[in-house]
Chain A
Amino acid sequence: MDFNTVIQVLDSTIRLSTPLLLACLAGLFSERSGIVDIGLEGKMLIAAFFSAAVAFMTGSVWLGLLAGVVSSMALSAIHGLASITFRGNQIISGVALNFLASGLTVLIAQTWFSQGGRTPSLVGGARFSELTLPFADSLRPVPVLGPIYADLISGHSILVYVAFLLVPLTWWVMFRTRFGLRLRAVGEAPEAVDTAGVSVVGLRFASIAIAGVLCGLAGAYLATGLQAGFVREMTAGRGYIALAALIFAKWRPWYALGACLLFGFLQAVALRFQNIDLGAFVVPVQVMDALPYILTVVILAGFVGKAIPPRAGGEPYVKER
């Protein structure tokens, strides 16, 4: 395998990790506040559709992004209404959102564009263009570091950089700010937050609103950055992989980065090499696709330390009697 191939695989690792990372951070905000969010998939999907649709109709990727974020937040709001306000089951609410998004996107796409549940291909300003970082071209001839900078680090759309910058930002918000302290507290012991005179409901809605924004970014990136338009079920289980990465990361931002890069790398390898010939036998592509899930099962079985979820996760807050 030559150096160029390595660079290419790593480059596509970064691209493929980005939606995972955004969704994973969305899940982190939500679950750290005690709201299990199985609906990451649905939120990404609906954001992917509306961002592509609006970007196509207006020709502006930014308006598309806005539409994606708004639609994702709308699903978050439904999730919040069902599981926070009405104290419903968070898993069921999340699964319902996934079904809703899955059906709604195809239905509207067919009604609006009549292209078999997809949007027309996006071109020009309706897509996120790739940013070239300063000096990328002039540094390219430098051995090793040149290609790494010019081809690996440079040349991604803005959302990629946003996603990676969100990791330190999330860490900082979670562990260095008042909001983060309260948010972590509400996921561990909502009664402590309540008796401290802070609104449990308010905090949880704030956190799922953030999750909505992040899922919106993830979906918009899928449809207007990674690819040029929406196709049905284009999230392809990324929301679930993001959840797996979140568990793998033990609900911590930096670990989430590592987990998402790993899962992104596995996807990139699967994409690049299809069937991997190891000489003795051939690893079929399906194995690579399944690897993130297999890894998660192995991790959950307790081989790599213990993953302790936020204590109040999944349970609606009811004052004890």
Chain B
Amino acid sequence: MTDTPAIELKGISKAFGPVQANKDIAIRVMPGTIHGIIGENGAGKSTLMSILYGYYKADKGDIFINGKKTAIPDSQAAISAGIGMVFQHFKLVQNFSVLENVILGVEDGALLQTSLAKARGVLKHLAEEYELQVDPDALIEDLSVGHQQRVEILKALYREAEILILDEPTGVLTPAEADHLFRILEGLKREGKTIILITHKLREIMEITDTVSVMRRGEMTATVKTSETSPEQLAELMVGRKVLLRVDKTPAKHGKPVLEVENLRHVDEAGVERLKGISFTVRAGEILGLAGVSGNGQTHLLHVLGGYADATGTVRVNGQDIDLTGNYSDGKSRRARGIAHVPEDRHHEALILPFAAWENLIFGYHNDAAYQSGPLMNNAAIKEEAAQKMMRFDVRPPNANLAARNFSGGNQQKLVLAREIERNPEILLVGQPTRGVDIGAIEFIHQQIVALRDKGKAILLVSVELDEILSLSDRIAVMFDGEIMGERLPSETNQTELGLLMAGVTEMPDKDKPLIEVVNEQLEAKKRREEAAKKNG
């Protein structure tokens, strides 16, 4: 290994209007290493990397590639310098094939034929070399998110990138897909490529990087060797204060059953049965964690319980049936029964992004007498209350007039939680409470959920993050393919067992057989069942 860094940035600054996204940043990335950049949402990680990729132009500062000062005014220059980037939001043309996406911008000649043929060959080769299998003729819109990401990596490799930047690559992946991605990255590193991994997940940093740089509020606060640091230290560097990574909670003092679900069945609009006879109970003062890979019915369960999908079966709240047939099943009547809902999809189901925070803080409850003033809304009272809620939930910036879209993910989630928890519900349904939320906010959100539990409320927590399920739940149920595969106590289970249940494996397999094979068999069986159901339907 040489001493010349593959990338060196000096004095990079970038402002968006009044917001200083990057302040005098310096960083050195050595060739053939995996370099992590960690920081909270809005710390400036993505901006910095977008500058390196020529997507944004820095206000000032210099970029050195392999020791040579290089100007990167646009993405073309970055590509020529051997830099490839996998954005958090993929830059793919949805109705193009994989091949077309790969050659876009680097076609050989004015006609497509030769480029497509060449790309087909190169892709085959890359697939074998790096476990990057993907059907070259498939349309992007038909691919899973994990496969779309592979296409992005293939795009970079096809452009002969020596330096690969990945921005929050695992945010959209299942645990198995994330593991596969890390194997791919290890493979690329072995081939001598330099990888920059942007993430806010400490576990990923510890697992795969050689060096890690920490960013906070647009500044680079530290660069350390991964082997010489700890998650606690990194968290402190990121947030600027000590952070509790584990959830601090006392054992649950549970009471009578509050939410009882029996034999719940739901068929979606396409005619696929998404819930296949689900039964479970949540008691007062406990958190039931519902684990599972996304797309196994959790979303539909939340929709049914939250009142925007019909179902058959029985749901009782405090012993009384609630209507599931659609006559009185809507969000409003659910709220009247004491069910509050923090949806999984914050941007589409929980907030109206262009609306101000104070408006978002009353949605669903906006017909309350307290908010009315004759025929008009009592905006002064609403704003007053909003300001207090925002203070109690530490929403930053504490400006109730700001549109919801201008808050970071964590602060948006705090807005939703403030709205739902402050109504003091009997039952809180909460889906993916910390998706896209930074560490400091995660700690706060977890504390709020536990506090509500300690007030004797029943909480159903749906999350694809096993860590979150394990640390927050008092009991864990695992969903697979519309069914509950089993219930476990957090103290009596582990990641491996839960991971197998999440893939539908209920019996521990032979010791000789690799786990990944068992899991793959189950997943393929599920796919076959789905295809058969589609044909019959």
Contacts and interface: CB of A to CB of B under 8 A. Distances in A.
Given A185-B93, A196-B105, A178 B110 contact: yes
A176 B110 CA distance: 9
A185 B96 contact: yes
A179 B111 CA distance: 8
Given A195-B53, A195-B91, A320-B89, A185 B104 contact: yes
Contact of A181 (B53, B75, B79, B107): B107
Contacts of B105: 182, 193, 196-198
B113 A194 contact: no
Interface in A139-183: 176-182
Interface in A286-321: 311, 319-321
Given A185-B96, A192-B93, A320-B89, A178 B55 contact: no
Given A193-B105, A198-B105, A319 B56 contact: yes
Of B93, B100, B111, the most chain A CB neighbours within 10 A belong to B93
A190 B104 CA distance: 12
B417 to A, nearest CB: 25
A184 B101 CA distance: 11
Nearest to B106: A196
A182 B94 contact: no
A194 B109 CA distance: 19
B482 to A, nearest CB: 29
Contacts of B53: 195
B56 A197 contact: no
A77 interface: no
Given A185-B96, A196-B104, A178 B111 contact: yes
Nearest to A178: B107
Given A192-B104, A193-B104, A195-B75, A181 B92 contact: no
Contacts of B394: none
A197 B76 contact: yes
Contacts of A197: 54, 74-79, 105
A194 B16 CA distance: 19
B16 A192 contact: no
Contacts of A196: 75, 79, 91, 104-106, 155
Interface of A is mostly: helix
A6 B510 CA distance: 79
B391 interface: no
Contacts of A177: 110-112
A17 B493 CA distance: 73
Contacts of B111: 176-178
B87 A195 contact: yes
Contacts of B79: 196-197
B230 interface: no
A189 B94 contact: yes
A177 B113 CA distance: 8
Interface string B106-138: 110111110100000000000000000000000
B85 interface: yes
A195 B85 contact: yes
Contacts of B56: 319
B95 interface: yes
Contacts of A181: 96, 100, 103-104, 107, 112
Contacts of B55: 194-195, 319
Contacts of B94: 188-189, 311
A168 B92 CA distance: 28
Contacts of A321: 16
B93 A189 contact: yes
Q: Which has the most chain A C-beta neighbours within 10 Å: B105, B109, B111? A: B105
A195 B79 CA distance: 9
A319 to B, nearest CB: 7
A182 B110 CA distance: 11
A150 B90 CA distance: 56
Contacts of A185: 93, 96, 100, 104
Interface string B48-90: 0000011110000000000000000011111100000101010
A185 B103 CA distance: 11
Nearest to B46: A321
A212 B89 CA distance: 34
Contacts of B113: 176
A106 B435 CA distance: 61
Nearest to B89: A320
Contacts of A176: 111-113
B373 to A, nearest CB: 37
Nearest to B84: A195
B114 to A, nearest CB: 10
A176 B85 CA distance: 27
A197 B54 CA distance: 9
Contacts of B75: 194-197
Contacts of A195: 53, 55, 75, 85, 87, 91
Interface of B: 16, 53-56, 74-79, 85, 87, 89, 91-96, 100-101, 103-107, 109-113, 115, 155
22 contacts: A176-B112, A176-B113, A178-B109, A181-B96, A181-B104, A185-B104, A188-B96, A189-B94, A191-B91, A192-B91, A192-B92, A193-B104, A195-B55, A195-B91, A196-B91, A196-B105, A196-B106, A196-B155, A197-B76, A197-B77, A198-B76, A198-B105
The 8 closest A-B pairs by CB, nearest first: A196-B105, A197-B76, A178-B107, A197-B75, A192-B91, A195-B91, A189-B93, A188-B93
Given A193-B105, A197-B105, A320-B89, 8 more contacts: A178-B110, A182-B104, A184-B96, A185-B96, A189-B93, A195-B53, A311-B95, A319-B56
